[in-house]
């Protein structure tokens, strides 16, 4: 983490300490996906509620390293009230960005741009990606 920009690091730590939209709901209208990353103990569940093609709610329950927990928190904030088609595009773009693949820099990833530096640390790419993969999977299950 030492090579990451300090501001980015601060944002990640802030989300790690105060995760947004944390806690799952026992509500059958929600779709839930859980993904674990055994290599560093990350355990992430993402829950979405879609109505009329809009993500009405996005929740998470995450334990693990700071990158995976912060990434889940940032995800829920960004996806709230987004149309499903736009949300999928953003998630794919994020996953390409952190895995050092070509991505569309004109798409606004908002605070999630802080994870752009993760590509320099191949071992952490999975940490940053888990919540976003789980999120996409909840939409596929709709
Ligand atoms: Zn991790």
38, burial (CB in 10 Å: exposed 0-12, middle 13-18, buried 19+): exposed
Alpha-carbon distance of 59 to 72, in angstroms, equals 9
Expressed in angstroms and rounded, the spacing between residue 62 Cα and the centre of ligand 1 is 11
Q: Going residue by residue through the chain, which has 142 residues, state the pLDDT in tens, using 9 for 90 and above.
A: 455 578 888 999 999 999 999 999 999 999 999 999 998 899 999 999 999 999 999 999 999 999 999 999 999 999 999 999 999 999 999 999 999 999 999 999 999 999 998 888 888 999 999 999 999 999 986 5
User: How many angstroms separate the alpha carbon of residue 45 from the centre of ligand 1?
Assistant: 14
Distance 129 CA to ligand 1 centre (A): 9
Instruction: Give me ligand 1 centre to Cα 53, in Å.
Output: 31
Write a three-state SS string for 104-133: CCCCCCHHHHHHHHHHHCHHHHHHHHHHHH
Compute the distance from residue 130 Cα to the ligand 1 centre, in Å: 9
Which CATH number is 117's domain given?
3.90.1010.10
Q: How many structural domains is the chain composed of?
A: 1
């Amino acid at each position: 983490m030492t090579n990451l920009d300090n501001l980015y690091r601060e944002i990640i730590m802030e989300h790690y300490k105060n995760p947004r939209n944390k806690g799952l709901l026992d509500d059958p209208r929600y779709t839930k996906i859980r993904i674990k990353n055994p290599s560093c103990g990350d355990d992430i569940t993402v829950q979405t509620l879609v109505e009329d093609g809009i993500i009405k709610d996005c929740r998470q329950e995450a334990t693990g390293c700071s990158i995976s927990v912060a990434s889940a928190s940032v995800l829920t904030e960004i996806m709230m009230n987004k149309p499903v088609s736009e949300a999928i595009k953003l998630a794919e773009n994020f996953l390409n960005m952190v895995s050092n693949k070509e991505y569309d820099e004109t798409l606004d990833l908002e605070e999630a741009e802080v994870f752009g530096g993760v590509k320099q640390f191949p071992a952490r790419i999975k940490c940053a990606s888990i919540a976003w993969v789980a999120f996409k999977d909840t939409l596929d299950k709709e």
